[in-house]
């Protein structure tokens, strides 16, 4: 195992997209940001130097952060932000996990442009034939406006952000948009096998991804190996990753790669398509006059829930020695978490707020999560500070009702509070995640920091215990860090709280986080010295 050092200069970058030049926040002057490439077991030190005008944090999405909660990164959860002009070294071990993950800013809308791949290679071999080449495909979302302004404006006016202007593949929108001739191009050789590491870094959209004329064999999701799963379309929710093998077995030509929205709600969405080119390498160089055809991938309709659900539930995890696929059968804490959009009391500065009906808010179990402002939760937990949070996050919603109905009167107003759920070290937790439909049904990608979880079952409608249990996969369930809970449906997940610290669980649609679609697990220290959260590093940012 090695010690790997990286430096991230976060600063302004002027970049030209969609016929205009825009100043964005980026790492090392790149969009997407730099790839971090490590082997399982390595220790990573990333020196983040914040030369941007914004206070920010970086999160290492999907990394367990075993005994290194101080490096997890969600703003005001595990740290105060690195102030503009400040710096912080994130130090952590990459143990017991391999595959494709990513890093991103965890404050406001900055992750739109502050993100990049985090690839963990096995120390030995892949559990599938070695690919000839590995390629990262990072799918993103682009606004012409400053993204922090988009976020701020949405929060002031009630929580609905302007729809993005484009999707991107490796930072570029592609030729379906104006002034976007410069596309991402991947050159392939006939007969060779490519491992595509696909990351959904979009803020507010689930995405379909296809390569015309080619099919995929999925071998991993969220950096956990799966049994080989063959498909010609990949579906990802924000936060999720998919590793897929693709053989260059089509007739040599140019082919489109395309990404477009899977819109699980009836609300407005970005209906455009990002494109890139897959290009076979020829003996003779291509002249522009002899450009071969570029067949377009026929994309699923934006509302094609059947295709999305088939992909989300299709792959199963690969059971093999060393792959953590043994589902714990004894559960010590069971929770029913109903979440979605709803109404809360108006905040003073909110513009679109009806005094009797209230304002749009998002919640879990009727608690709209409030971020602390003067000290991070982790520091408050570590120091035993009083008055920052309470430990009464409820085990179930205040009222059980028909969660698939949109009758606003049925759900109580949400409360705004900083409530956490305390867990004993090493206990097994089972969560029913029930999506609610009060202000529209949509799939919410629920992401848990600090752990992977088993997805035992998921379906549409209201959760029913006996039906759900009959569906449980206790043999080879998916292991994920982000589950797209079906629109108007539920999922049951299980995890072992084997990591002391505080860990946020939230919707990975970026707008829903500041609206409160989150809660936090506070995991106590364990009995032995290898289960005690160490003190914060000396350069730990304070507020």
* Residues in a beta bridge with 432: 336, 492
506 is a contact residue toward ligand C2O (CB under 6 A): yes
**Closer residue to ligand C2O in complex, CB, 66/447:** 447
Stretch touching ligand C2O by CB under 6 A, among 6-14, 192-200, 467-475, 502-510:
502-510
**Closer residue to ligand C2O in complex, CB, 200/264:** 200
Stretch touching ligand C2O by CB under 6 A, among 27-35, 150-158, 176-184, 503-511:
503-511
**Closer residue to ligand C2O in complex, CB, 114/278:** 114
Whether residue 47 is preceded by a cis peptide bond, meaning omega within 30 degrees of 0, is no
205 is a contact residue toward ligand C2O (CB under 6 A): no
Burial 126-140 (b: 16+ CB within 10 A, else e): bbbeebeeeebbbbb
Stretch touching ligand C2O by CB under 6 A, among 1-9, 216-224, 402-410, 501-509:
501-509
Q: Within positions 372 to 411, which residues make up the interface with ligand C2O, using CB under 6 A?
A: none
Task: Supply the minimum distance, in Å, between the C-beta of residue 393 and ligand C2O.
Answer: 17
Task: Supply the minimum distance, in Å, between the C-beta of residue 312 and ligand C2O.
Answer: 18
**Closer residue to ligand C2O in complex, CB, 38/509:** 509
**Closer residue to ligand C2O in complex, CB, 172/512:** 512
115 is a contact residue toward ligand C2O (CB under 6 A): no
**Closer residue to ligand C2O in complex, CB, 223/245:** 223
CB neighbours (10 Å) of residue 75?
23
Determine which helix (DSSP H) or strand (DSSP E) holds 467, and give its type and residue range.
helix 465-471
Return the SS3 of 148: helix
Return the SS3 of 501: strand
Residue whose C-alpha is closest to residue 458's, from 444, 450, 468: 468
512 is a contact residue toward ligand C2O (CB under 6 A): no
In whole angstroms, what is the distance from residue 434 CA to residue 487 CA? 10
Q: Which of 59, 197, 381, 421 binds ligand C2O (CB under 6 A)?
A: 59
Q: Which of 447, 480, 494, 512 binds ligand C2O (CB under 6 A)?
A: 447
Q: Which of 17, 104, 197, 205 binds ligand C2O (CB under 6 A)?
A: 104
Number of residues that bind ligand C2O (CB under 6 A): 11
Stretch touching ligand C2O by CB under 6 A, among 310-318, 360-368, 504-512, 527-535:
504-512
**Closer residue to ligand C2O in complex, CB, 72/98:** 72
- CB of 128 within 8 A of CB of 188? no
For residue 40, with 0-12 CB atoms within 10 Å meaning exposed, 13-18 middle and 19 or more buried, which class applies?
Answer: middle
- CB of 445 within 8 A of CB of 435? no
- CB of 521 within 8 A of CB of 497? yes
In whole angstroms, what is the distance from residue 105 CA to residue 510 CA? 11
**Closer residue to ligand C2O in complex, CB, 77/344:** 77
Q: Within positions 3 to 22, which residues make up the interface with ligand C2O, using CB under 6 A?
A: none
Return the SS3 of 7: strand
Provide the total of helices (H) and of strands (E) in the chain, helices listed first: 4, 32
Task: Supply the minimum distance, in Å, between the C-beta of residue 235 and ligand C2O.
Answer: 18
The torsion defined by the Cα of 364, 367, 373 and 378, in degrees rounded to 10, comes to -60
**Closer residue to ligand C2O in complex, CB, 61/381:** 61
What sign results for the dihedral spanned by CA atoms 420, 223, 527, 542? negative
Q: Which of 117, 159, 161, 239 binds ligand C2O (CB under 6 A)?
A: 239
What is the CA 77 to chain-centroid distance, rounded?
Answer: 17
What is the CA 388 to chain-centroid distance, rounded?
Answer: 27
Task: Supply the minimum distance, in Å, between the C-beta of residue 395 and ligand C2O.
Answer: 23
Q: Which residue is nearest to ligand C2O (CB)?
A: 61
Task: Supply the minimum distance, in Å, between the C-beta of residue 178 and ligand C2O.
Answer: 31
Residue whose C-alpha is closest to residue 299's, from 202, 233, 216, 215: 233
**Closer residue to ligand C2O in complex, CB, 107/183:** 107
**Closer residue to ligand C2O in complex, CB, 278/518:** 518
The CA–CA distances, whole Å, from 499 to 33, 254, 261, 450, 526 equal 29, 48, 35, 7, 9
Task: Supply the minimum distance, in Å, between the C-beta of residue 220 and ligand C2O.
Answer: 17
**Closer residue to ligand C2O in complex, CB, 234/448:** 448
Q: Which of 66, 449, 494, 512 binds ligand C2O (CB under 6 A)?
A: 449
Q: Half-sphere exposure of 441 toward its Cβ, with a 13 Å CA cutoff?
A: 21
Going by the DSSP 8-state scheme, the letter that residue 249 receives in this structure is -
Q: Within positions 297 to 326, which residues make up the interface with ligand C2O, using CB under 6 A?
A: none
106 is a contact residue toward ligand C2O (CB under 6 A): yes
Task: Supply the minimum distance, in Å, between the C-beta of residue 506 and ligand C2O.
Answer: 6
Stretch touching ligand C2O by CB under 6 A, among 43-51, 359-367, 489-497, 500-508:
500-508
326 Cβ partners below 8 Å, 6+ apart? none
List strand residue ranges (DSSP E) for 385-462, in order.
Answer: 415-417, 420-423, 428-435, 444-448, 453-460
Q: Which of 61, 210, 419, 444 binds ligand C2O (CB under 6 A)?
A: 61
**Closer residue to ligand C2O in complex, CB, 72/437:** 72
425 Cβ partners below 8 Å, 6+ apart? 497, 498, 500, 523, 524, 525, 526, 527, 531
Q: Which of 32, 33, 74, 117 binds ligand C2O (CB under 6 A)?
A: 74
Q: Which residues bind ligand C2O (CB under 6 A)?
A: 59, 61, 74, 104, 106, 239, 447, 449, 504, 506, 508
């Amino acid at each position: 195992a090695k010690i790997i050092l990286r430096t991230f200069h976060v600063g302004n970058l002027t970049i030209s997209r969609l016929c205009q030049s825009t100043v964005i926040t980026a790492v090392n002057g790149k969009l997407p940001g730099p790839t971090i490439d490590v082997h399982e077991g390595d220790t990573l030190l990333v020196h983040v130097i914040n030369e941007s005008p914004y206070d920010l944090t970086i999160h290492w999405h999907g990394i367990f952060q075993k005994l290194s909660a101080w490096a997890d990164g969600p703003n005001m959860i595990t740290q105060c932000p690195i102030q503009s002009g400040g710096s912080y070294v994130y130090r952590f071990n990459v143990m017991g996990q391999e595959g494709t993950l990513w890093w991103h800013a965890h404050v406001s809308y900055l992750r739109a442009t502050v993100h990049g791949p985090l690839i963990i290679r096995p120390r030995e071999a892949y559990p599938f034939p070695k690919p000839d080449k590995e390629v990262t495909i990072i799918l993103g979302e682009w606004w012409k406006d400053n993204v922090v302004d988009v976020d701020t404006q949405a929060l002031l006016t009630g929580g609905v952000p302007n729809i993005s202007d484009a999707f991107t593949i490796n930072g570029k929108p592609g030729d379906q948009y104006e002034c976007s001739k410069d596309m991402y191009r991947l050159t392939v050789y006939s007969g060779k096998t490519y491992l595509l590491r696909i990351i959904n870094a979009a803020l507010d959209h689930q995405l379909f991804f296809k390569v015309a004329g080619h099919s995929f064999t999925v071998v991993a999701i969220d950096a956990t190996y799966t049994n080989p799963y063959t498909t010609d379309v990949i579906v990802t929710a924000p936060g999720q990753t998919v590793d897929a093998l693709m053989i260059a077995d089509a007739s040599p030509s140019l082919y489109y790669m395309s990404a477009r929205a899977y819109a699980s709600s009836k609300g407005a969405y970005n209906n455009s398509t990002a494109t890139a080119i897959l290009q076979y390498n020829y003996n003779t160089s291509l002249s522009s006059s002899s450009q071969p055809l570029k067949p377009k991938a026929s994309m699923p309709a934006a509302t094609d829930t059947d295709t999305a659900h088939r992909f989300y539930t299709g792959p199963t995890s690969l059971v093999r020695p060393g792959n953590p696929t043994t589902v714990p059968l004894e559960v010590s804490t069971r929770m029913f978490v109903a979440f979605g959009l709803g109404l809360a009391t108006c905040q003073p500065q909110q513009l679109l707020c009806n005094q009797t009906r209230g304002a749009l808010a998002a919640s879990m179990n009727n608690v709209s999560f409030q971020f602390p402002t003067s000290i991070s939760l982790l520091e408050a937990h570590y120091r035993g500070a009083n008055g920052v949070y309470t430990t009464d996050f409820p085990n179930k919603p205040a009222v059980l009702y028909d969660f698939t109905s949109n009758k606003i009167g049925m759900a109580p107003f949400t409360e705004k509070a900083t409530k956490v759920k305390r867990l004993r070290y090493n206990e097994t937790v089972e969560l029913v995640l029930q999506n609610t439909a009060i202000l529209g049904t949509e799939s919410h990608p629920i992401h848990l920091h600090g752990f992977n979880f088993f997805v035992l079952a998921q379906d549409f409608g209201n959760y029913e215990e006996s039906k759900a249990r009959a569906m449980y996969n206790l043999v080879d369930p998916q292991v994920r860090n982000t589950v797209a809970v079906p629109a108007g449906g539920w999922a049951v997940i299980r995890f072992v709280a084997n990591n002391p610290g505080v860990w946020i669980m939230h919707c990975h649609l970026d707008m829903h986080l500041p609206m409160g679609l989150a809660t936090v697990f506070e995991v106590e220290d364990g009995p032995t010295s290898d289960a005690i959260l160490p003190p914060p590093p000396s350069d730990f940012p304070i507020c």
